């Protein structure tokens, strides 16, 4: 992997838009039984959410990461901003004055299997009477988007996502969606996307299998599509010359996923997306970027969380899990 990354050393800017939540994570010896109680062997608090973790990965790889997400005003705000700053992420709050709790997630990770269980609160449903807007405009927005190579969104906060997508497309920035479920407003976002990376769980109405999903997304003009399937191979399709005007797919295939002893799966998909954005934005072709991302996500599953994975790769101390005394 280090050799493959050597061609991607040149720093680039990546933009990330969507959810930032606060995760409380607990590591336990085994899965919790029904009505069970168990002492955690380790715990930690950290910012999470798909674009947030992907931004952390992108930054770890040497890129400049700017994150547009809602943190708002609440007692946990300063902790969340400090955590993002610890990773070197530049944050733009979608509404710094909104008095609301952020999305919260309680995550239990089993040491015996690497499986995790998550309980979370959903982001606020967008209110059409108070449409979300980007916190930047004019010259400030131009400066934030300058030299950006790629934008990753998760489909949340769709009004501000659509504004950012339009701005990026005018500048030739590659636009990418990470999705596992249909979200309000997604029909407005899909026509503005160059790449969609969907989990196998993404099933819009009438879509029953992978081929139907390729056809559904292709109908919106998406040029490159990948379907991740956990430990199974990644399926992909790509239009050739002619882009959105071309019917059908010129290329496609499968990216194999290696078998490993799993320690942790929490955030593996987000590592995939962060690595993909850095690789594709750095000039690798679509299947090569997917292969590199799959390799990284698989390697990540053998580490004890994001900080441990970064420490293993870089030797940089990140803190990691806290242990009860």
Token pair for 169: 């497309």
**How far is the C-alpha of 296 from the C-alpha of 292, rounded, in Å?**
6
Could you tell me whether strands 251-255 and 232-238 are parallel, antiparallel, or unpaired per DSSP bridges? antiparallel
**CATH architecture of the domain with residue range 13-20+49-103+133-314:** 3-Layer(aba) Sandwich (3.40)
The answer to whether 190 and 176 have CB atoms below 8 angstroms apart is no
pLDDT tens for each residue of 188-244: 999 999 999 999 999 999 899 999 999 999 999 999 999 999 899 999 999 865 555
Domain ranges of the chain: 13-20+49-103+133-314
Q: Is 267 exposed, middle or buried (0-12, 13-18, 19+ CB in 10 A)?
A: buried
- DSSP category for residue 71: -
Task: Name the residue with higher pLDDT: 43 or 151.
Answer: 151
pLDDT digits (tens, 9 = 90+) for 34-70: 888 889 888 889 999 999 999 999 999 999 999 999 9
Q: 67-103 pLDDT, tens per residue?
A: 999 998 999 999 999 999 999 999 999 988 888 888 8
The CA distance from 70 to 132, in Å, is 10
What whole-number distance in Å separates Cα of residue 287 and Cα of residue 271? 17
């Amino acid at each position: 992997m280090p050799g493959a990354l050597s061609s991607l050393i040149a720093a680039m800017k990546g933009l990330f838009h969507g959810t930032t939540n606060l995760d409380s994570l607990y590591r336990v010896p085994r899965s919790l039984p029904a009505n069970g109680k168990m002492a955690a062997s380790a715990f930690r608090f950290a910012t999470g959410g798909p674009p947030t973790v992907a931004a952390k990965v992108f930054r770890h790889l040497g890129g400049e990461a700017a994150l547009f997400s809602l943190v708002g005003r609440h007692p946990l705000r300063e902790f969340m901003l400090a955590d993002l700053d610890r990773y070197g992420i530049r944050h733009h709050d979608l509404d710094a004055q909104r008095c609301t709790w952020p999305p919260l997630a309680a995550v239990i990770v089993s040491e015996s299997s690497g499986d995790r269980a998550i309980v979370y609160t959903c982001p606020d449903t967008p209110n059409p009477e108070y449409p979300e807007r980007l916190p930047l405009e004019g010259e400030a927005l131009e400066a934030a988007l300058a030299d950006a190579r790629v934008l990753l969104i998760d489909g949340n906060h769709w009004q501000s996502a659509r504004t950012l997508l339009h701005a990026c497309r005018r500048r030739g920035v590659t636009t990418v969606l990470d999705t596992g479920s249909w979200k309000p407003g997604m029909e407005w976002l899909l026509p503005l996307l160059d790449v969609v990376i969907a989990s196998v769980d993404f099933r819009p109405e009438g879509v029953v299998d992978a081929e139907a999903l390729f056809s559904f997304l292709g109908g919106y003009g998406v040029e490159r599509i990948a379907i991740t399937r956990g430990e199974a191979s990644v399926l992909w399709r790509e239009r050739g010359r002619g882009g959105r005007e071309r019917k059908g797919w010129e290329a496609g295939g499968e990216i194999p996923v290696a078998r490993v002893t799993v320690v942790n799966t929490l955030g593996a998909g987000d590592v995939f997306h962060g690595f993909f954005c850095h690789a594709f934005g750095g000039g690798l072709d679509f299947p090569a970027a997917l292969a590199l991302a799959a390799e990284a996500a698989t390697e990540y599953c053998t580490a004890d969380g994001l900080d441990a994975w970064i420490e293993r790769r870089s030797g940089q101390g990140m803190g990691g899990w806290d242990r009860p005394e």
